[in-house]
Amino acid sequence: MSGNVRLLSDTLVAAKEEDRSALIAYLPAGFPTVDGGIEAVKAAIEGGADVVEVGLPHSDPVLDGPVIQTADDIALRGGVRIADVMRTVREAHAATGAPILVMTYWNPIDRYGVERFTAELAEAGGAGCILPDLPVQESALWREHAEKHGLATVFVVAPSSKDERLAEITAAGSGFVYAASLMGVTGTRASVSSQAEDLVRRTRATTDTPVCVGLGVSDPAQAAEVARFADGVIVGSAFVKRMLDAPDDAAGVEAVRALAGELAKGVRGQV
């Protein structure tokens, strides 16, 4: 069974042909429950997201701020397992046809087994993985199995990345490049870092792979701002916060759908 890296690439190309950025949503698996998380992913896509990153909850999420940490804690206390992450990918992709990635730290994959993880993700219809803490120079084993199973390997670049380092990272990755708009953890912010546009420019100088910007985008105006210079706009904490603030799980799912619609207008410059 081959994964859906091609679907991911085609989706990003299709957005570009519409003269807009793609909208990429992030939601953790198992939050607020496994079933509720699946419904939220489906709602994000139905609302207007082009791609969804499904987070694999982890006890030490070094890139994630307090909002996503809270959701991860709820999922972990609920007993979420890697099998539930795979089920989330499988059911969301089957229901929507959209590309679904997994965003995960390296330790859970290492313990689970690289071959087992990549084979199961491909079988579930996954498009690939975002691996924020896997150094490129230590990624050969992962990339070998990901390529074998038709999965994208998305690496994260940061404003601190030197041009030489950017070239090394982009040469090893596939699908898209995740450009972190600032130094720090995920979370909603009042404005998008001015470093983001410069990072996209420097990253594009090293690769033809799409460059998508995340960290700090929370509303349609910010999405429109980033869409001016990025191939994709990644939004996570704002979706999770809407769910945390909702009075019940069903309202949380509808809040995700509504925010996806608002952000979809943002990436199309309709705000």
Rounded distance, CA 2 to CA 51, Å? 18
Does the annotation mark 64 as catalytic? Answer: yes
Rounded distance, CA 106 to CA 85, Å? 15
Give residues with Cβ within 8 angstroms of 135, minimum separation 6.
none
* Active-site residue, from 39, 50, 53, 225: 53
Rounded distance, CA 237 to CA 215, Å? 8
Cβ-contact 53, 24 below 8 angstroms? yes
Does the annotation mark 53 as catalytic? Answer: yes
The tokens describing 252, both together, are 């949380």
Rounded distance, CA 220 to CA 262, Å? 6
**Active-site annotation, residues:** 53, 64
